[in-house]
Chain A
Amino acid sequence: MRTRRARPALGTLVEIGVAARGAGASLSLGDAIASAFARIAVAEAQLSRFDPASPIHRFNAAAPGTRIAIGSDAARVLTAALLLHDASDGAFDISLGSGPVGWRCEGGSLLKIAAGTTLDLGGIGKGHAVDCAIATLRAAGVEAGWVNAGGDLRVFGDVALPVHLRDEVRGGVVPFADLRDGAFATSRLPAGHASVAAEECLWADALTKLVVASGDARHPLLERHGAVAWLH
C-alpha cells in the first residue's frame, strides 16, 4: 500500500511517499514520514538564508574575520559547493558573484574572508534536504519510497517513479522518464529548462545549476558524478 503526504517546506511543496514499509520497520508509516519531514526542517534551519538563527544568515550579516560554527548539513553542502565551484571554473557559485573566494569552510566552521560576500544555498540545499529525508526513511525501516521537494526528487527501493515535466509557459505536464534508485532535478534556462539525473539529490540539484550556468549538457563534471543531463 502506498502512502503519500505533503507539506510546505524548503520554500516549496514537499511530498514524501512510502511504497513499501518493510517487515522490520521501527516506526509506523505515518511516524516514518513525520520524522522525514522533521529531518527536512532541521536541514532547512541550517541552510536557510532567511532564518535569522541559521549559520548562513549569520554569515551574510557578519564582518570579515568572523568564524561561525556549522553543523554537518551546512558542512556537507558547503564542501560540495566548493568542489563544484573549483571544478567548474567558477560557473557554480553559491556567492552568486558577491565574492566566490570570500568564504572558507574549515572543519566545523565557516569563515568569512571578504566583506560583501553573501551566500545563498538555494541551488544545492534543497537536494541535500531530500537526501537527508531519504536517509531518515531508510533508517526507519522503509524499503521503498520517494521524496519530492518541488521537483528536486529522489526515489529508492523497489519502485519506479514516473517523472513528469511541467510546461512552464503553457501549463500542463508531460511524461519524461521512469526513475529508480536515483535523483532528478530541473532548473530554468533563459529559454527552456535543464534536467539532471544523478545518484544523490544534492548532485542532481547542484549539477542542474551547473548545466544552466555553462549551457553544456555534456559538461565533464556530470560524468564524474555519474549524472546525465537534458536540455528541453
Chain B
Amino acid sequence: MRIDKTQRGWAITSLILVAVFTAIYVVYAVHAPEGPRGGSDLGLTFGVIGFGFMLFAALLGARKRVPTWRIGRAQAWMRGHLWLGLLSLPVILFHGGFHFGGTLTRVLMWLLIITVVSGVFGAALQHYVPRVMTTDVKLETIYDEIGNVQKLLREEADRGVETICGPLGIGKSANEEVQRAGGFSAARPMVTSSGGAAVAAETVVLSEEECAPLRKFYLSEMRPFLEQPKMRGSRLSDADKAHGAFTGLQTLMPEAAQATVQDLEDICDEARQLVRQEQLHHLLHGWLLVHIPISLALILLGAVHAVMALRY
C-alpha cells in the first residue's frame, strides 16, 4: 500500500497521538521519583495501549485470511496496521522507559524493533519497487508462473532453432512435449495455404553449414542461459552484451534465419526480464519472511510478558 495523500488523516492522527504520548511521558519521566517504569500506573497504561496497537496490527493477517468478514474495509485495516503498528514502537519504549529490561523484555523489544523496522522497510519498498518493475520489466507476468513461462520460452526457442536447423538432439522431458495453448509462437491450427501440403514439423530449411553458427551459439550459450537464467557469467544475462552477441550472429546467418535470430533475441530479453521480475518480487515480498514470523512470536511472548508482569 502506498502512503499518499489519502492517508493524511491517519498520518495527522498518528502524529497527534505521538505528540500527546510524548508530552505525557516527558512529564511523567521528569516527576517519577525513580524514573519511568513499566510497572507504574502510567507505564502499565502505555504497555496496554502499545500491546493493543500490536494486536490490532497482527489481526490484519486474520482479516486477510477471511476477506468476507464485514468488519471494516480491508483498506482501513491496512492503514490501521501501518500507522498503529508504527505507533506501537514509541508507546512501548515509553512503557519501558527506554530500558530494555531483562531477558524476556529485551527479546520482546528487539522483536518489536525488528517487526517495525521490517514493516517500514516493506512500506518503503511499495513506493520504490513497483516503479522499477514498470521500468525494468515490460514483459511482466504473474510471479507464480515465471517458471512455467520460462519453460515455454525455452521450448519456443528450441522449436525456432529446430525449424531451420533440424533436430538439436536435446532430450526433452515429457512435460516439455506437452505444450499448453498460448504463447508468442505457440502452435495454433494451421491456416490453409495455397500450396499448402503439410510439412513435417522438423523440416530443415537451412543447410548444415549455414546453420552451424546458430546451432553452436544456441547449444553452447543460449540454451544453458534459458535453462538457468539466474546463473551469472553468461553474456546473455546482460542486455548490452546479449545484443552484441545476437548482432554478431545475424551477420553470420542467411536472410531466411534473420527472423529466427531476432526471435531468439526477444526470447532472451524476456527471460532476462523475468529474472529481474523475480528479483524485484523477492525484494518486494521477501521482508514478509521476517516481518510475519517475528510479529507472531512478538504477540505470543508479549502475552506471556503481560501475564508474568502482573505476577511480579
A binds B: no
Binding site for A on B (CB under 8 A): none
Binding site for B on A (CB under 8 A): none
